[in-house]
Amino acid sequence: MKNKITTFCAIILLSFSLNGQEEKRQNFIAIGANYGLNQSFGDLSDRFGTHFQAGISLDLYKEKINTIFSIEGAILFGDNVKEDVFANLRLENGSVLGSDGGLVDVFLRQRGTYLGLMGNKIVLKSQKNPYSGLALGLGIGVLQHNIRIQVDTNNAPQFNGNYGKGYDRNTMGFALKQQIGLMSLSKNKRINFELALNLTEGFTKNTRAINFDTGLKDDKSRIDIIIGLDFKWMIPLKSQYDKDEEIFY
């Protein structure tokens, strides 16, 4: 009788152990890479237009709540700059004179960064794959952007080094991010991607003491809004609880 009870208890414990392993095996850590197209709104639209973004992330997927938690970073870049910081330096033909009296080949570009935390949950599951479907995300972070001054000649020292910072409109502040997308996580964890529409609101201010072109300090509070569409691919590094710490490529 004692042997039967022992055998029965062992079977129950083994059953719980196997069930726990099956659930835990769905958790994984991944590296994500994304690329997207953005449109500027709010105060940002006075300075920049359409631009691009490229980013990476460290992602942790939790099967029990069907959610991905991410640390994400992205760079923003483009050449659609609407705010001409050289307006008062230009000649009638639009050129800028250099220190040697010659013309300066100078161009304005958009640059920026975003660094934040994101939680992204699958709220409407696919019937064929419970790890795929409609996902909603919320995030917080820091948004930064500036005007990059690209000078292709050697006759414009007034735009180099610390002098250039007086024109670059460097702006930074706290940001909120919301996202809706279609996420697909394969059952074998090898093919994982998301196509998402995201909205970012940055509550920012100019970080420079003075703008050289106006001679004034810009301390106005800004609301910089970005609406973007991006594609993200996730490459699992390791399943958290797989036996022998199996690595997936």
pLDDT at 239 (0 to 100): 57
pLDDT at 14 (0 to 100): 40
Tell me the C-alpha distance between 174 and 202, whole Å.
6
Tell me the C-alpha distance between 42 and 203, whole Å.
11
| Protein fold of 27-245 | Porin (2.40.160)
**pLDDT tens for the chain, residues 1 to 249:** 445 444 444 443 443 333 344 334 468 899 999 999 999 999 999 999 999 999 999 999 998 899 999 999 999 999 999 999 988 888 877 778 777 777 888 889 999 999 999 999 999 988 888 889 999 999 999 999 999 988 887 777 778 777 889 999 999 999 999 999 999 988 776 789 999 999 999 999 999 999 988 889 999 999 999 999 999 999 988 655 444 444 444
pTM of the shown model: 0.82
Q: Where are the domains of the chain?
A: 27-245
**63: CB partners within 8 A, 6+ apart:** 23, 24, 26, 27, 131
